[in-house]
Amino acid sequence: MTSEAASKDPISVLSGFGSGSSTSASKTGGRSAPSALTPRPRTGFVETEQVRDLTRRGLGFLHAGYPLHFRGPAGTGKTTLALHVAAQLGRPVIIITGDNELGTADLVGSQRGYHYRKVVDQFIHNVTKLEETANQHWTDHRLTTACREGFTLVYDEFTRSRPETHNVLLGVFEERMLFLPAQAREECYIKVHPEFRAIFTSNPQEYAGVHASQDALADRLATIDVDYPDRAMELAVASARTGMPEASAARIIDLVRAFRASGDYQQTPTMRASLMIARVAAQEGLEVSVDDPRFVQLCSDALESRIFSGQRAEAVAREQRRAALYALIETHCPSAAKPRARRAAGGRPGVEGALP
């Protein structure tokens, strides 16, 4: 399960919803409001027992009225899972993506532009009376719209936003009241719609660009930790997304999982790395074997960069890491030739030029 979110535009269509999503706009009391997505089940969505279990647990909290929080490292499918769970609620969805520059006004709303009114009175033909006024126009933003209309709010990577941005959420989840700034004028608060639900996702705090969550907010969230997908799910996703035969996809999945288990890297290889290798191999018609130098090079390109992740390394250390990676490729994507024939050919077919 993988998906990437967009930034601070009014609404962003994510791949987790599939091509069947539709977009709707709303207006409340003359206030312009962001559009919302109407989610539909994604064609080809892979639902294993692991996904069903996470979905069931998440829906249990949401139906009871609690905000849900999926927490886990990159590449575990948190965003796609959040969108999948949101689709089960059957309500329009509004999406926010965490950002260090995101402020309370970006969640709640603000005064935007001016409304001009000009009156020319010529009741007496030789006397002209002119009145001109200019008033700022209040615009609801995504949190306010979701609270008014009872939409589902998906707040992706919320810990990338500053903690003070989320103060307004405390009243939403506890008192079911959204307190608006003084600029709203017409009302100082709104009662949260009974159908409003919120789903959050986040990476652990040790990730770059991530802020620690407030205890007050974390205490209000029902947090479910999401780990890396099991082998069955990775295999099902790889086969469905790439069209590669299951036997070939299994070799790639096992290779990346073994590389992840080795701990011999700076950046954790996730299912995205497996999909990257499988998709390119299927597209280029590569043999998923150490016999194919292009396949070996593809694995090197996709995985070797994660070993050092931009850090400089001594030539000896780099060669040792490359040799260890090649050994994994040889183990999980073995040669179709007999071992004796391979030894006669030099013992490391496909490695020349690929893993120097």
| 86 inside domain | yes
48 and 25 in a single domain? The answer is yes
Overall number of domains in the chain = 2
* Predicted structure pTM score: 0.76
Residue 29 is predicted with a pLDDT of 46
Q: In the predicted model, is pLDDT for residue 69 greater than 50?
A: yes
48 and 191 in a single domain? The answer is yes
Tell me the DSSP string of 5-43: ---SSS----GGG-TT-EEE--EETTEE---EEE--PPT
191 and 326 in a single domain? The answer is no
- Residues 301-355 have pLDDT tens digits of 999 888 876 566 677 888 888 899 999 999 999 997 655 444 444 555 444 445 5
Q: In the predicted model, is pLDDT for residue 283 greater than 70?
A: yes
Q: Identify each DSSP E strand in 141-268 by its residue range.
A: 152-156, 177-179, 189-191, 197-202, 222-225
| 118 inside domain | no
Question: Per-residue pLDDT averaged across 202-210, rounded?
Answer: 81
Residue 101 to residue 192: CA distance in whole angstroms: 26
219 and 235 in a single domain? The answer is no
Specify the amino acid at residue 330: E
Question: Per-residue pLDDT averaged across 63-82, rounded?
Answer: 94
Residue 164 is predicted with a pLDDT of 93
Mean pLDDT of the chain, nearest integer: 81
Residue 15 is predicted with a pLDDT of 34
Highest mean pLDDT among 20-24, 123-127, 166-170: 166-170
Give residue for tokens 């250390």.
317
144 and 197 in a single domain? The answer is yes
The residue range of the domain holding 155 is 15-108+140-225
CB 280 within 8 A of CB 300: no
Question: Per-residue pLDDT averaged across 40-68, rounded?
Answer: 89
- Residues 253-271 have pLDDT tens digits of 999 999 999 988 888 899 9
Q: What percent of the chain shows pLDDT beyond 90? A: 54
Residue 296 to residue 355: CA distance in whole angstroms: 8
211 and 167 in a single domain? The answer is yes
